Amino acid sequence: MLPVERRKQIVTWLNQEGALSISEISKRLNVSEMTVYRDIKPLLEEKKIIKTSGGISLTPITNDFLNACTYCLKESNNRHPVQIILNDLRVEQLCCPHCGLLRYKDIEKDVSQIICRDFLSHSTVSARMAYYLMDADFNLSCCQPQVLTFESLKHAEQFQKGFGGNIRRFQEAVEEIQKRMNGEHDCTCHK
């Protein structure tokens, strides 16, 4: 693995797990702790990560940034945000899977990771591996057409039993939401 790849991997873990110790990172990457320190130096200098008592974590995002969706610009305290990590390690916050998928489509080539949350367990899951439920009879109070994300087909089907809707995989969901938006940027949430 090249240093740049290791850096990307470290940021991905931090996004998923919050914080990590240097020794844990060195173990996972199978490199020395010195190498880990060298790898994360640029991240520290650019203030993408901070040192904590136990190791390192991502720099806490300010409230302004957390609340504004990169795609629809709506302020949101929705509990189902999507994060996109770009190849240059910048992180974008999207208010809901609807905006996450549309934003992904716009900048596909620059996307390193796209992370969403399981609707039921709230655990983080790679959006590329997630299952998407559309047209369910449940209002998330965010953008329409609404998309719900699930980490497993089982969760999606359990929810579908109660609330209906259609289950899709990542690419299908991206295409479907794009088709329905018909190239328009304006989701109904957009004020």
Residue among 40 and 119 whose Cβ is closer to Zn ion: 119
Q: Is 72 in the site for Zn ion (CB under 5 A)?
A: yes
**Nearest 10 degrees: CA dihedral of 142, 147, 148, 150?**
-150
Q: Is 99 in the site for Zn ion (CB under 5 A)?
A: yes
Q: Is 101 in the site for Zn ion (CB under 5 A)?
A: no
State the nearest-atom distance from the C-beta of 70 to Zn ion, in Å.
Answer: 8
Please calculate the CA angle 51-86-109 and round it to the nearest 5 degrees: 160
Q: Is 143 in the site for Zn ion (CB under 5 A)?
A: yes
> Pairing mode, if any, of strands 49-51 and 166-168?
unpaired
Q: Is 69 in the site for Zn ion (CB under 5 A)?
A: yes
Number of Cβ atoms within 10 Å of the Cβ of 90: 12
Answer for the pair 83, 92: CB distance below 8 angstroms, yes or no: yes
Q: Is 140 in the site for Zn ion (CB under 5 A)?
A: no
Binding footprint of Zn ion, residue count (CB under 5 A): 8
Residue among 25 and 81 whose Cβ is closer to Zn ion: 81
Instruction: Tell me the torsion sign for CA atoms 14, 15, 16, 19.
Output: positive
Residues 14-43 contacting Zn ion, CB under 5 A: none
What is the residue type of 26?
Answer: S
Residue among 95 and 125 whose Cβ is closer to Zn ion: 95
DSSP per position, 76-129: ---S--EEEEETTS-EEEESSHHHHHHHHHHHGGGEEEEEEE-TTT--EEEGGG
State the nearest-atom distance from the C-beta of 97 to Zn ion, in Å.
Answer: 8
Q: Is 102 in the site for Zn ion (CB under 5 A)?
A: no
Residue 131, beta-bridge partner list: 150
Return the residue of 89, 95, 127, 156 that touches Zn ion, per CB under 5 A: 95
- Which range in 34-42, 55-63, 97-105, 127-135 contacts Zn ion by CB under 5 A? 97-105
* Site residues, Zn ion (CB under 5 A): 69, 71-72, 95-96, 99, 142-143
